[in-house]
C-alpha cells in the first residue's frame, strides 16, 4: 500500500503541470462545458462585442420607445435576448437607457427596431479579446479531467484499503469541485463570445429639450424666488447678531485706543 500512497502523492504533486497533449478537445467528457477544439483555439479570435447607440426621438415618444425596445427583446427570445438594465427619468428632460444581451442576430433586430422608431445620433462598437482566458480555462479543464481519470484508476485499485479510499475520494472531491468551478468560468466566457451587448441611450430632440428647459425655468420661477427669499431672510437672521458683535468690538477698540493716546499725551 506504500506504493499506492506514493502514487497518490505523485499525482497531487504533478496536478499543476499535467497536460493532455493528445486530446481532440480541451474539455474533459462529462464536465458539462461545450468542447473547445485545440485547432479552433489556434485559428480563431474569441471577441466579446459591445455596441452602443444614442437615439433621439420626439419628447412624447421617449417612454413609448423605451417600452418598445423591451418588447422587441421579448419578441427576440429565440435569439436569447435579455434585458440587463432599464432606466427612465421623467424630470425636466425625459431620458431613458437600456442594456441588452443577445445573439448577433438578435442585436441586429434590436438595432433595426430602434432605427425605425427614432434617429440614431451616434453608434460605437468595442471588442474585448478573450482568446487567452478561454485557452487557459480549456487547458485547465483538460488537465483536471486527466487527473480525475487517474484518481479513478487509483480508486479501483484501492478498493480494499479504507485509508487509501478516504484519501483518494477526498482528492477526487476537490478535483470535481475545481472542474465545476472552471466549467462555470468557461461557460461565462463563451457566453460573452457567443452573444453581444447593446447599450441604448434614448433622449428627446435637442431643440425641444432646450425649449423645455426654458419653459421649465419659467414655470419654476415663483418657487425658486420663494426659496431664494427664504434663504436671504435666513442669512440675514444669522448676520444681524454678528454685525452687532462687530460694531461693539469696533467701538470698544476705538475707546481703548483713545484712552491709550490720552495716557501717552499726559506722560
Residue pLDDT tens, the chain, 267 long: 444 444 444 444 444 443 334 333 444 444 444 444 445 454 568 999 999 999 999 888 999 999 999 999 999 999 999 999 999 988 778 899 999 999 999 999 999 999 998 899 999 999 999 999 999 999 999 999 999 998 888 887 776 777 888 888 899 999 999 999 999 999 999 999 999 999 999 998 764 445 455 555 556 667 666 777 778 788 777 777 888 888 888 888 877 877 777 777 666
C-alpha 31/C-alpha 179 separation (Å) is 7
Give the global pTM: 0.61
The x, y and z cell numbers of residue 59, run together, are: 419628447
Q: Is residue 136 included in any domain, yes or no?
A: yes
In a domain, 213, yes or no: no
Same domain, 118 and 35: no
| Best CA proximity match to 9, nearest among 143, 137, 194, 150 | 150
CA-wise closest residue to 137 among 249, 60, 33: 33
181 is a domain residue:
yes
Number of domains the chain is built from: 3
Indicate whether 210 belongs to any domain: no
d(CA 191, CA 79): 13
* Residue 255, SS3 per DSSP: helix
Q: Where are the beta strands (DSSP E) in the chain?
A: 47-57, 82-90, 94-102, 119-129, 196-204
Q: Is residue 175 one of the residues assigned to a domain?
A: yes
Within this chain, do residues 121 and 72 fall inside the same structural domain, yes or no? yes
Determine the structural domain holding residue 240 and report its residue range. Answer: 220-266
212 falls within a domain: no
Cα separation of the two ends of the chain: 115
Q: Same domain, yes or no, for 168 and 182? A: yes
Amino acid at each position: 500500500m506504500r506504493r499506492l500512497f506514493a502514487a497518490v502523492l505523485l499525482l497531487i504533486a504533478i496536478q499543476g503541470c499535467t497536460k493532455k497533449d493528445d486530446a481532440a478537445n480541451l474539455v474533459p467528457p462529462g464536465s458539462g462545458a461545450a468542447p473547445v477544439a485545440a485547432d479552433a483555439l489556434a485559428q480563431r479570435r474569441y471577441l466579446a462585442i459591445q455596441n452602443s447607440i444614442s437615439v433621439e426621438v420626439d419628447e412624447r415618444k421617449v417612454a413609448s420607445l423605451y417600452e418598445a425596445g423591451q418588447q422587441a427583446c421579448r419578441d427576440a427570445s429565440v435569439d436569447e435576448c435579455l434585458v440587463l438594465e432599464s432606466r427612465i427619468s421623467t424630470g425636466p428632460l425625459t431620458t431613458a437607457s437600456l442594456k441588452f444581451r443577445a445573439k448577433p442576430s438578435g442585436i441586429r433586430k434590436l438595432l433595426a427596431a430602434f432605427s425605425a422608431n427614432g434617429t440614431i445620433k451616434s453608434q460605437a462598437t468595442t471588442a474585448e479579446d478573450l482568446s487567452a482566458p478561454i485557452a487557459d480555462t480549456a487547458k485547465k479543464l483538460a488537465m483536471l479531467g486527466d487527473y480525475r481519470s487517474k484518481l479513478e484508476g487509483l480508486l479501483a485499485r484501492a478498493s480494499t484499503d479504507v485509508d487509501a479510499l478516504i484519501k483518494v475520494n477526498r482528492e477526487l472531491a476537490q478535483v470535481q469541485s475545481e472542474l465545476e468551478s472552471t466549467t462555470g468560468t468557461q461557460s461565462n466566457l463563451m457566453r460573452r463570445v457567443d452573444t453581444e451587448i447593446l447599450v441604448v441611450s434614448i433622449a428627446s430632440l435637442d431643440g425641444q429639450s432646450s425649449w423645455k428647459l426654458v419653459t421649465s425655468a419659467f414655470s419654476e420661477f415663483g418657487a425658486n424666488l420663494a426659496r431664494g427669499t427664504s434663504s436671504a431672510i435666513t442669512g440675514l437672521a444669522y448676520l444681524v447678531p454678528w454685525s452687532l458683535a462687530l460694531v461693539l468690538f469696533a467701538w470698544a477698540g476705538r475707546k481703548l485706543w483713545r484712552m491709550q493716546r490720552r495716557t501717552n499725551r499726559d506722560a
